[in-house]
Structure 1
Amino acid sequence: MLLLSKDDTRKALPFAELIEALEGIFKTGCEMPVRHHHDMAVPGEADATMLLMPAWVPGKYAGVKIVNVVPGNATRGLPAVAAEYLLSNAGTGEMLALIDGGELTARRTAAASALAARYLARSDASHLVIAGSGRVAYNLVGAHMAVRPITRVTFWGRNLDKARLAAGEAGKQFRVTCDATADLEAAVSAADIVSAATLSEDPLIRGEWLRPGTHVDLVGAFKPTMRESDDEAIRRACVFVDTMDGCTKEGGDIVQPLRSGVLKTEDIKADLYDLARGKHAGRSSDDQITLFKSVGAALEDLAGAMLAYETHRGASI
């Protein structure tokens, strides 16, 4: 069985190719049962979450990702997300590869945001603002640069030192001008694309800050109790999601406005299936404010795992 480390997984999943792989699987689809979602008590701190995410392409590949999300790891200097992905031959049941799930998750999450931005961000979007300083936030830089002419990136985080560190590392890795700020309002007000990748329980991105033409990308807040945007952002924006079933049940940025009546299900313009299949064109004008909410889906992990395996093996099964 092939074992792919964090570095192996990163090298096997360049963003341009990964974005194409995600678009391909959203076009063709796959079998994707509802993921298992379990809260796990951690004495003395916020609950952790275990996710089990299976998916398969009949007769070809099958896979499952096991994810542990531990918010309290921030105080320990550890990543909030720990994960592994097991890829199998769906025709024979043979176990093919164990892939670093944390790196796979971070890169496919960022790639899904970039895929959405390909349809929803202005073609000349050059200033990216990122709320967050973790692994996914860092990967969002490279992913968005693969689809838009990003020349400046501004990081914001509750811990300014961590935001500065993320900006420094991203600037070196992706060869783009990066800085950090303590003033989120000023940053968002000047942004072309705003990406939020946090575990926030309360809104961070205010609708009143958004200038015409901004694209808002909400990556974190994966539980109904979490939220990264306020009601005004939802009111002002054309709303899109990665998957309709997932976001209307799990993501607080969609679930809470639906419950309060600020948003109706029919107000959600499209999901990534619709965008990839040409059922919706995406952004319709340069002045339009667009908002994309993702909660992640097992088919994204499967697409990334297949790409990583085939990159190392040099052929598909």
Structure 2
Amino acid sequence: MVENRPMTLLDAQATAQRLPYPALLRQVREVLADPSVQVPDRLVQPLPGGGSLFVMPALDARIAMTKLITFTPGNAGTPRPAIQGDVVVFDVKSGERRLVLDGPTVTARRTAAVSLLAAQELAPKPDGPLLVVGAGAQGHAHVEAFIEVLGVQEVLVASRSAASAQALAGHARRLGARAKFTADADAALADCALVVTCTPAAGVVLSGIPRPDAFIAAIGAFTPAMVELAPDLCRHCASQGSVVVDTPLAAQEAGDLLQAGLDAAGFPTLREVLLQAQPGRRGPVLFKSCGWAGWDLAAARAAAG
């Protein structure tokens, strides 16, 4: 008689505890170098009312997972999160369901870990100061990750909601950083070597010209119709610095780059940056992240142990 192991259902807090940033960062690196990793195309099904249903599978030689979430932009600024759902993790050999992780927590933490990896590899000044545009779940995750892993000591927060920005700045101060709200994200670019944009991407939130030593992680826009960065800003980074994308899927999904008239397929991916010798970069670096089930697989690996 075969005895099945019990399945573990983790809430948001328990999921976060399974995903400490150093371990998650290590798994993101390892997923990019693991030849057994397979990531089928994700399914994005539009829903009535403007939301979307995402089905995102991935697997390696040991585990298989699927992230099943809804993305509802209309929930921004309400008590309901914009992202809701679960990540289900299976044992490849036995077929057993091992874990069910909180989908929004996985999404926030794995995205921050990918931005961390890009900053470690690409940022001229990875210790900041940091400007975060957007004070939702992704803003919180990036502030926590950048303070913990990169040692950022100064944070500026911009948001369409001053109250949310003040709350995130207060959270950053409790983590040991100097932090404050800024009403003008473009003006703050002059003071910040690290920038993260993590908004619902319903319109341009950053249009100023970044410093020559700036690193910008733009994560909010993951469809051609979404945008956070002004076209001139993207073109400036492409001509005066460099652009790196998270995966080749950015060629079809990176609204910021596509709306700037840039060929996203011509930019190096994060995998290429890690696996190939890269020449020294000059000028601002734009890292465009659109999301990938491989990042969720990295989180599943970290959580499964």
Q: Return the TM-score normalized by structure 1.
A: 0.88
1:100 aligns with 2:102: yes
Cα distance between partner residues in 2 of 1:275 and 1:105: 23
Q: Is the 8 Å Cα contact of residues 153 and 176 (structure 2) preserved in structure 1?
A: no
Q: What CA distance in whole angstroms lies between the structure 2 residues aligned with 1:51 and 1:9? A: 20
In the alignment, structure 1 residue 249 sits paired with structure 2 residue 248:
no
What are the Cα deviations for residues 164-208 of structure 1, in whole angstroms up to 9, with x where unaligned? 011112321x221111111112112211011000112322222x4
8 A contact 2:57–2:66 mirrored in 1: yes
Q: 1:171-186 alignment to 2 at 5 Å?
A: 171-172=173-174, 174-186=175-187
Aligned residues: 294
Q: Distance in 1 between matches of 2:108 and 2:277?
A: 27
SS at match of 2:188: helix
Match runs of 1:1-317 below 5 Å: 1-29=7-35, 30-42=37-49, 47-58=50-61, 60-123=62-125, 125-172=127-174, 174-206=175-207, 208-237=208-237, 238-244=242-248, 246-257=249-260, 260=261, 263-265=262-264, 267-268=266-267, 270-277=268-275, 279-281=276-278, 284-285=281-282, 288-310=283-305
2:154–2:178 CA contact under 8 A, matched in 1:
yes
Aligned 8 A contact 1:15 1:142 in 2:
no
Note if contact 1:119-1:283 (Cα within 8 Å) is conserved in structure 2. Answer: no
Residues 228-281 of structure 1 deviation map (CA, whole Å, 9 limit, x = unaligned): 11222222211101001x211112012323xx3xx234641x11211222x143
Aligned with 2:243: secondary structure? strand
**CA distance 1:185–1:24, shift in 2 (3 Å):** same
Q: Is the 8 A contact 2:251 2:265 kept in 1?
A: no
CA offset at residue 118 of structure 1? 0.7
In 2: Cα distance, 1:37 partner to 1:294 partner: 17
Give the CA deviation at 1:305.
Answer: 1.1
TM-score, reference length from structure 2? 0.92
3-state SS of paired residue (1:166): helix
C-alpha change, 1:25 and 1:309, in structure 2 (3 Å) is same
Q: Distance in 1 between matches of 2:77 and 2:287?
A: 29
Question: Does the 8 A contact of 1:12 with 1:308 survive in 2?
Answer: yes
The one-letter code matched in structure 2 to 1:191 is: C
Aligned equivalents of 1:141, 1:149: Cα separation in 2: 11
Looking at structure 2, the residues matched to 187 and 150 of structure 1 have their Cα atoms a distance apart, in angstroms, of 16
RMSD: 1.6
Matched residue type, 1:223: T
Counterpart of 2:243, as a letter, is V
The percent identity for this pair of structures is 29
Q: What is the distance in 2 between the residues matched to 1:203 and 1:176?
A: 28
Please name the residue that 1:314 is paired with: none
Is this contact kept in 2: 1:66–1:83, CA < 8 A?
yes
Aligned partners of 2:136, 2:221: CA distance in 1, in Å?
Answer: 14
In the alignment, structure 2 segments of 5+ residues that lack a partner are: 1-6
Distance 1:54 1:152 in 2: 37
Q: Is the contact between residue 57 and residue 67 of structure 2 (CA under 8 Å) also seen in structure 1?
A: yes
Q: Which runs of 5+ in 1 are unaligned?
A: 311-317
The separation in 2 between residues aligned to 1:254 and 1:292, in whole angstroms, is 11
Answer yes or no: is the 8 Å Cα contact 1:117–1:144 preserved in 2: no
Q: Does the 8 Å CA contact 2:206/2:229 hold for their aligned counterparts?
A: yes
